[in-house]
Structure 1
């Protein structure tokens, strides 16, 4: 089981509740002090975490069994709360991340594949796919514009 506590870090526990490994993160400022809220995503033997904050945002890939960092990519993002999405399609498998004004996709080794702009500055919903399309949206209560892309 994995327990993610945002800027504190992530912890792997066994079924008896004992800590198997932990990966600590540096404290960071978040918008209005709300803290991070994106969930980690497990794909095969890799745990992906997006930590978008107002200091230094990043996406990191950890070995799910040991917590060893496989790669880390800094992101030019402000605080956001969108959980990353592992998008498997005919061409490849990608890690899709929504952020401030833009969506980025990474291969499973952390190399950026593509990006596009047009989102709101607050991104909360997780991207998803259906019927061969990738769907991404952003926005918050009171936002005049809440774009949806497919």
Structure 2
């Protein structure tokens, strides 16, 4: 018997997003792609993930349009994985996760990697959710309009 789709998942953008990029390895692959990782061997070395898991996640991210495969930039017979335009749009999500981790998972003064603006050499300002008019909004000031 075919399982009926859950209407809550079908209409929820968060649920659909998590279905595509919500597991640890997929998010770390996307993070590393933003950091310039392009080849299978580089992803495996940097992440320490099993080849079979990495191959599965890379294939899935390509199938879902997050990554694209292209010939190696150095002219070798290898292929490279690069973020698609859809994948590039995940940048704010990666920054938000990073900033949340910096605020909540490290003790004061504990060393961690930093994301630096190349132009100014400074850390990024904390991301905040803003309304259309530019006001900063809190969770209590927004609501979800449910589909009926």
TM-score tier, shorter chain, comes to under 0.3
Give the TM-score taking structure 2 as reference length: 0.25
Q: Quick check: which has more Rg, 1 or 2? A: 2
Structure richer in strand, relative to its length: 1
Give the TM-score taking structure 1 as reference length: 0.25
